[in-house]
Amino acid sequence: MKSCEVVVLLLALLCVGRAAPLTSCDTLLKPISISNEQMLGRWLYIGGSSDLPGSRSLGHLLNSIWLDIRATSLSNVLTIFQTQRIYGECSGMIYNVTMQNSTLLIEHPFYLKEVYLETDCADCLVVYEEVKTSQDSFKSLLLFSRQRSVSLADVEMLKMQAKCLQMPSPLMMDPSYEICPDNIATSDGLAAFNSLLEAKMGQRVAKLLDQLFDFFIN
Ligand SMILES: *[C@@H]1O[C@H](CO)[C@@H](O)[C@H](O)[C@H]1NC(C)=O
Ligand SMILES: *[C@@H]1O[C@H](CO)[C@@H](O)[C@H](O)[C@H]1NC(C)=O
C-alpha cells in the first residue's frame, strides 16, 4: 500500500516536472532587481491569479484596476493611488508602502510582501505577492503594464509562472475595458482590505463563490 502511494507521488512529480521543468521554473520565479524609480507612474492591471478567497469571483466582476505609484519625501516610501472598477462602479484608495532592495512591504495592519519576476514584456511588471494574517497566508501573481494589453507570448509566460507556483491559470482582463477617471475620491484602502481578511466567515463564503463562478463561467 505504502509503495503504491510512493509510486503515485512519483508519477505526480514527473507530471508536474514535465508540465513545467524545474530549471525554467527557477528562472521564471527568480525575483528581479528593480529600482524605486522604475516603479513610479501608472500601471494598468492586465491579469493574474490568486488563492485569496473571493479573488476569482471578484476577477469575473472586475472591469479594470490602475495604480499610480508616486515618490514621497522619504526615499524608501512610495504612495500608491489605486482605482478599480468593479461591476461598473469606480472606487479609489491611497496607501503608503515601503520599497527597499527590490521588495515592497506593508507591515500594518497586515503583512504584505511583493517581489517582481522576470518578464519578456518591456512595459510590464510581474508581481509575486504574499499576504499573511495571524492564521492564513495567501499568494498572488499579478501582471501590470504601461499599455492596455500585452502580447500572447507575454500572457503565456505569466501562465507558466502560475503553473510553477501551482496556482490556477490567470484570469485575464478584457482589453476593451473602461478605466476609472483620475479625480476619484479615495478611502483608506488598507483598512478595507484588512477587514476583508479578518472576516473568517466571509472567507468561507468567498471560497464557495469562487467555485461557483469557475463552474458557471469557465
Ligand atoms: C505617506 O508617507 C508620506 C511621507 O512620510 C506622508 O507625507 C504621507 O502623508 C503618507 N500618506 C499616507 C496615505 O499615509
Ligand atoms: C537585498 O537583497 C539581496 C538579494 O535578495 C540580499 O542578498 C541582501 O541581503 C538584501 N539587502 C538588504 C539590506 O536587505
Query: For the residues 182-198, what does the mean pLDDT come to?
Result: 73
**What is the model's pLDDT at position 134?**
81
3-state secondary structure of 153: helix
Given a contact cutoff of 8 angstroms between Cβ atoms, the answer to whether 190 and 80 are in contact is no
Give pTM, 2 decimals: 0.80
Whole-number Å distance, alpha carbon 134 to ligand 1 midpoint, is 26
pLDDT for 60 equals 78
What pLDDT shows up at residue 27? 93
- Ligand 2 midpoint to CA 29 (Å): 17
- Give the pLDDT confidence score for residue 1 in this predicted structure: 44
Q: For residue 169, what pLDDT is reported? A: 92
Render pLDDT for 57-74 as a digit per residue (tens, 0 to 9): 778 778 888 999 999 999
Which positions ≥6 away from 206 have C-beta within 8 Å?
Answer: 53, 54, 57
Lowest-pLDDT choice from 97-106, 112-121, 173-182: 173-182
Any ligand 1 atom below 6 A from CB of 195: no
The finding on whether 102 has its CB within 6 A of some atom of ligand 1 is no
Grid cell in block for residue 122 = 518591456
Domains and CATH numbers, the chain: 36-217 (2.40.128.20)
> Does residue 75 line the site of ligand 1, with CB under 6 A?
no
How far, rounded to the nearest angstrom, does the alpha carbon of residue 146 sit from its chain's CA centroid?
A: 16
Give bridge partners of residue 42 from the DSSP assignment.
Answer: 68
User: pLDDT tens digits, residue range 139-179?
Assistant: 999 999 999 889 999 999 999 999 999 999 999 988 787 78
User: What is the per-residue pLDDT across 19-48, written as a single tens digit (0 to 9) for each?
Assistant: 555 568 999 999 999 999 999 999 999 999
pLDDT at 59: 80
Ligand 1 near 94 CB (within 6 A)? yes
